[in-house]
Structure 1
Amino acid sequence: MTGLSNATLHKLPPEVLTPVYDRKSVFVGIAHIGVGNFHRAHQALYIDHILGRDGQKDWGIAGLGIRQGRREEERAEAFHRQDGMFTLTEFAPDNTSTIRAVGSVVRYVSCLDGYEPIIAQLADPAIRIVSLTITEGGYFVDGEGHFRLDDPFIAGDLKREVPESAFGLVTEALRRRRESGAGPFTVLCCDNLQHNGRVAQAAFCGFAEARDASLGAWIRENVSFPSCMVDRIAPSVTDEDIRRLDKESGVDDLMPVYSEDFIQWVIEDKFCAGRPEFEAVGVQMTENVEPYEQVKLRMLNAGHSVLAFCGLMLGYRKVDEAVGDARLIALLERFLNDDVAPLLSPPSDINLAAYAAQVVHRFRNHAVGDQLERIASDSFSKLPVFLGQTVHELIRKGSDTRREAFALACWAECECGKDGKGNPIEISEPAATDEQKAVFKDSNLLAVFDLPMFEGWGIADCQTFREMFRHYRSDIRSKGPARVLSTL
């Protein structure tokens, strides 16, 4: 197999699409924090298309790795050896695929070399957009929209001379840009959060104001924080996946990524320092992202979560396996069409029935085979965003909440570490403390609703919902999840 680098691009197999632009002529204009699988399968691909257009060579990406650890060591080494390139395989539901070498990440700066080079990159006047994918739980903003200054990591970062958090690094870079006259850049949050632009503004301005009130005021007045909605399924990549993808591509890639063929990006058109020609490559630019965001978070992401927890309890580990179960498909379709859709106000170009059908169709993509444990992880951050408003509105209207109660009962049982067949389940909860995780083993099956994540759901005052949940949890244990599901 052929290795991947600038020098080997002309040697790659003919079925591998390569950049249509000269990478040597590309300049960095975007810095991205969190260069994980999703970013590489989504934003980096859009920028790859943009760089192929005339007059757009100033929008190359500088990837920034800010989290210490083995994963960062491997990623930094791979980016170095492969000149920032990687292969992306897009799988369609009909089993066809497209393989391309993505070249938009033209530089990678790792915290392994210290945090000062990262600040210097952000402070470079050429940087006009700083984008982020740092997970839903990575912004330290509470339910009231306040930045959590008392978090130990944030409190420690405020004291460091050279900060290490995304908020500290960006704040310090903006301080230097203000002093040098380089001016602000746009901060573009690409994580699955409601009103993610506002969340990002609360986080970055909250940190900056705690460090320097005048700097915080300058950032609030001059830096743009557009909201955006991102959509593409990009699973985790295992060592086995690497071997499979490299064999299919004929490329010896240290960090290949794969995804479904569906992709969408909707961005609020609010950029203080200019932007690429996003609309020329299919990005939807709008003045109001919220309707798109609402549909995606509460249908696709919530549907993913419902399927993940219920599917895991039934013993499945992959999405395509779970949607092969007619009982789970019936649950998912009723959830999307009967529970969620009537509560939404979609944009004029989205038909909710068609959207729901498309969600199920995307989940059936066998070649993608996303991992249910991956989707289920970080539920303390995800569930309030994906499911909280739906439960709140259903309870307020006095509507049927059986499916939501059952899904949450499955979630609580999954958090105990075993599926309905007694097999282990591994779910990562980085936003939860050990004390919070212990609540799932409490003899009081309703104790989970005392967790802060359920504030605002309306469950505390709804005895009907609480009793349904307790009943489902108890029956899952005594009768098994399949039998309980059949009653729905």
Structure 2
Amino acid sequence: MDRLSASTQFSGPVVLPAYDRKALEPGILHIGLGAFHRAHQAVYTDAALTEEFGPWGIIGVSLRSADIVRELNEQDGLYSVVTRSGAGESVQVVGSIIKGLAAVEERDELLRLLADPEIRIVTITVTEKAYGLDPVSGGLDRGHPSVKADLENPAAPIGILGYLVAGLASRKNAGLPPFTVLCCDNLPTNGRIVRGLVIEMAGANDPALATWISEKGAFPSSMVDRIVPAATEESRARATAMLGVEDRQSLETEPFMQWVIEDHFISGRPKWEAGGALFVDDVEPYEKMKLRLLNGAHSMIAYLGQLKGLEFVRDVMAVPEYAQLARRHMQAAVKTLDPVPGIDLKHYIDQLIERFANPTIAHRTRQIAMDGTQKLPQRIFAGTVDDLAAGRDAASFAYATALWIAYAKRTPDIDDPRREEVRAAAAQASPDDPSAPFFAIPGLFPQALVGNRGWRDRVNAKLEEIEAGRI
């Protein structure tokens, strides 16, 4: 069967790029060429180019894998996004990515592009663990493999921070303005965190560079939202049937998507609002809403699903008792939020329940359960601190925490960057105080929780109920 390419002729109802791709010039470098970026930021950029054409083509970079880059380039940068819900499905071919680049094979080209003044924005989706954030200090984890390597050899970076610093150094040395760094990962106040990490890494070898970045750089925060499961052979087959050609990079996703961005860009930006992006002065209320309601409930559902042998989020939500637990958790978490401009939080919770229950989206609970030590501090523990400070009992947060501990104890091959510490805690758990070794993991839990004996006892009580099969 033919492959999707720029020469493909479609006969069915396929939404195609409504602009001249041959005239498209690069202006965005995206690092983290995974499914989420291609179903989210690239789709918004497609809409922006349709509304207001400009030099905003994307060069997509994979830091680790060359396979996705090779396959995407073989398809002229094109791929399909199939949107599915109980109401039906549709397919769109996205054209905003001009080409892919594999950093493991093309480091010099990536460094050249980072120095190129035509690249005005660097967007990032590399997951929380890739930044080398020290959970104790809030600064660089100098033992993180890529951080350590890039501090020792800044001219040959391998990690996200090393590449950003090297690119900004080239700009400074050439007398050029910096590129805008737009983080799209699930870190609270992600722009400020990445800014601090970049400045710290730059300052370790070149204090003048750190000062220049501090004075000249732009690191707007953003909040992103769309559920994008990993592709499967079944999902690729559906895309092939809809397109009439093979697409090895096809994706399936839900209709809902959201992007909230601080409007602080050095050298312009695409008209992303054409796709529905919201530009605001302060992203934090939206970010906290998403982390504590969507991501927090998602993590709780994932651990519950893993413990109950339920493969997909939709399977968990199909059990009325479990769906009600998810809703109750959101209703508890919403009390820890400030008002969010333009958002009806009750309606937002109803939307989340509907999205999680979408019978056409196969989002694996195992995938969401990964990297708990990186995700839970902002998704669960921060809300717990606020709930307790307001005089409430944080019982739902205790349950979510106990689910993770039960999952960690039952999963020897747990996928987590602090795997050995988690496994050691599981091995040391005693019947009298089973959560104690987990609370002792450095920097994982806020001190306000480590020192709260009453709430820790609540976690232990929930853990006992979970392990006894009562909830």
TM > 0.5 fold call: yes
Letter in 2 for 1:384: P
Determine whether 1:14 maps to 2:6.
Answer: no
Determine whether 1:234 maps to 2:228.
Answer: yes
Contact conserved, 1:302 with 1:387, CA < 8 A, in 2?
Answer: yes
Matching residue within 334, 338, 341 for 2:328:
334
Query: What's the counterpart of residue 401 of structure 1?
Result: 394
Give the 5 Å matches for 1:354-369. 354-369=347-362
Determine whether 1:456 maps to 2:446.
Answer: yes
Give the 5 Å matches for 1:150-165. 150-160=143-153, 161-165=155-159
Q: 1:443 and 1:170 mapped to 2: Cα distance? A: 41
Letter in 2 for 1:465: W
SS in 2 for 1:147: coil
Q: 2:386 and 2:378 mapped to 1: Cα distance? A: 14
Q: 1:112 and 1:83 mapped to 2: Cα distance? A: 21
Matching residue within 283, 286, 297 for 2:277:
283
Q: 2:58 and 2:300 mapped to 1: Cα distance? A: 35
Query: What's the counterpart of residue 428 of structure 1?
Result: 415
Query: What's the counterpart of residue 319 of structure 2?
Result: 325
Q: Render the CA deviation track for 1:209-235: whole Å, top value 9, x for unaligned.
A: 112111111111111000011010001
Q: 2:185 and 2:226 mapped to 1: Cα distance? A: 12
Deviation at 1:65, TM superposition (A): 1.7
Contact conserved, 1:93 with 1:366, CA < 8 A, in 2?
Answer: yes
SS in 2 for 1:412: helix
Q: Render the CA deviation track for 1:328-355: whole Å, top value 9, x for unaligned.
A: 1221111111x11122112231111111
Q: 1:453 and 1:7 mapped to 2: Cα distance? A: 53
Contact conserved, 1:149 with 1:207, CA < 8 A, in 2?
Answer: no
Query: What's the counterpart of residue 439 of structure 1?
Result: 425
Determine whether 1:32 maps to 2:18.
Answer: no
Q: 1:435 and 1:381 mapped to 2: Cα distance? A: 13
Q: 1:239 and 1:441 mapped to 2: Cα distance? A: 38
Deviation at 1:51, TM superposition (A): 1.5
- TM-score of the pair, normalised by structure 2: 0.94
Matching residue within 381, 391, 398 for 1:388:
381
Deviation at 1:469, TM superposition (A): 2.0
SS in 2 for 1:6: coil
Determine whether 1:62 maps to 2:59.
Answer: yes
Deviation at 1:44, TM superposition (A): 0.4
Of residues 166-175 and 396-405 in structure 1, the stretch that sits farther from structure 2 once superposed is 396-405
Gaps in structure 1 of 5+ consecutive residues: 419-424
Q: 1:102 and 1:457 mapped to 2: Cα distance? A: 46
Query: What's the counterpart of residue 127 of structure 2?
Result: 135
Of residues 143-152 and 164-173 in structure 1, the stretch that sits farther from structure 2 once superposed is 143-152
Provide the aligned C-alpha RMSD in A.
Answer: 1.8
Letter in 2 for 1:380: T
Of residues 375-384 and 203-212 in structure 1, the stretch that sits farther from structure 2 once superposed is 203-212
Letter in 1 for 2:61: L
SS in 2 for 1:476: helix
**Distance 1:51-1:427 versus aligned 2 partners, 3 A rule:** farther
Matching residue within 358, 361, 373 for 2:366:
373
Q: 1:457 and 1:357 mapped to 2: Cα distance? A: 33
Matching residue within 49, 56, 71 for 1:51:
49
Contact conserved, 2:66 with 2:105, CA < 8 A, in 1?
Answer: no
Give the 5 Å matches for 1:59-138. 59-67=56-64, 72-94=65-87, 96-138=88-130
Contact conserved, 1:92 with 1:365, CA < 8 A, in 2?
Answer: yes
Q: 2:429 and 2:446 mapped to 1: Cα distance? A: 24
Contact conserved, 1:388 with 1:457, CA < 8 A, in 2?
Answer: no
Q: Render the CA deviation track for 1:12-69: whole Å, top value 9, x for unaligned.
A: 3422211111111000000000010100000000001112234x230000111222xx
Matching residue within 134, 137, 146 for 2:139:
146
- TM-score of the pair, normalised by structure 1: 0.91
Letter in 2 for 1:65: S
Contact conserved, 2:149 with 2:158, CA < 8 A, in 1?
Answer: no
SS in 2 for 1:7: coil
Q: 1:376 and 1:457 mapped to 2: Cα distance? A: 24
Q: Indicate the percent of aligned positions where both proteins have the same amino acid.
A: 34
Matching residue within 268, 291, 307 for 1:297:
291
Q: 1:185 and 1:78 mapped to 2: Cα distance? A: 28
Matching residue within 451, 455, 463 for 1:473:
463
Report the count of equivalent residues. 465
Q: 2:318 and 2:428 mapped to 1: Cα distance? A: 34
**Distance 1:443-1:184 versus aligned 2 partners, 3 A rule:** closer
Letter in 2 for 1:281: G
Contact conserved, 2:393 with 2:455, CA < 8 A, in 1?
Answer: no
Q: 1:136 and 1:404 mapped to 2: Cα distance? A: 21
Contact conserved, 1:318 with 1:372, CA < 8 A, in 2?
Answer: yes
Letter in 2 for 1:474: E
**Distance 1:224-1:139 versus aligned 2 partners, 3 A rule:** same
